[in-house]
Amino acid sequence: MNKVAKNLGLYLVLVLVVVSMVNMFLTPEEVQKQYDEISYTQFISELDAGHVRILQIRNNTIPGESSSAAFQGEMTSGQRFLTYGLDVSEIADKAVKMGITVTFEAPQKNTWLTSLMTSLFPTLLLIGVWMYFLYGMQGGGGRIMSFGRSKAKLFLDNKPKVTFADVAGCDESKEELQEVIQFLKDPEKFKKLGARVPKGVLLVGPPGTGKTLLARAAAGEADVPFFSSSGSDFVEMFVGVGAARVRDLFEQAKKYQPCIIFIDEMDAVGRHRGAGLGGGHDEREQTLNQLLVELDGFDDSSSTILIAATNRPDILDPALLRPGRFDRHITVDRPDVKGREEILKVHMKEKQFADDVDVSILARRTPGLVGADLENLVNEGALLAARHNKDRIGMDELEEGIERVMAGPERKSRIINDHEKRVIAYHETGHAIVAKVLPGSDPVHKISIIPRGHAALGYTLQVPEEDRFLMSKSELMNRISVLLSGRVSEEIVFNDVTSGAANDLERATQIARQMVTQLGMSDTIGLIKLGNKREEIFLGRDISEDRNYSEEVAYKIDQEVKAIIDSCYQRAKAILTERRSLMDKIAGVLLEREVLDAEDFARLMEDVPSDIPEPPDDRIDILPNTSRDFLA
Residues annotated as catalytic are: 428
Q: How many alpha carbons lie under 13 Å from residue 150 in its C-beta half-sphere?
A: 23
Distances (CA, A) of 117 to 10, 15, 18, 131: 17, 11, 11, 19
Full 3-state SS string of 281-301: HCHHHHHHHHHHHHHHCCCCC
At 84, the amino acid letter reads Y
The DSSP bridge pattern shows strands 80-84 and 61-66 to be antiparallel
At 339, the amino acid letter reads G
Q: Which has the closest alpha carbon to 84: 26, 38, 36, 50?
A: 38
Contact, 545 vs 531, CB < 8 A? yes
H or E element in which residue 230 lies = strand 226-230
Task: Write the DSSP string, 180-225.
Answer: HHHHHH-HHHHHHTT----SEEEEE--TTSSHHHHHHHHHHHHT--
Q: ω into residue 258 within 30 of 0, thus cis?
A: yes
The DSSP bridge pattern shows strands 259-264 and 153-155 to be unpaired
* Cα gap 569→564, rounded to integer Å: 9
* Cα gap 632→494, rounded to integer Å: 17
Q: Which has the closest alpha carbon to 215: 183, 260, 257?
A: 260
* Cα gap 571→513, rounded to integer Å: 19
* Cα gap 461→54, rounded to integer Å: 103
Q: Which has the closest alpha carbon to 147: 247, 228, 227?
A: 247
Strand, helix or coil at 571?
helix
Q: Which has the closest alpha carbon to 52: 4, 101, 7?
A: 101
* Cα gap 476→561, rounded to integer Å: 13
Contact, 558 vs 513, CB < 8 A? no
Q: CB burial class (10 A; 0-12, 13-18, 19+) of residue 202? A: buried
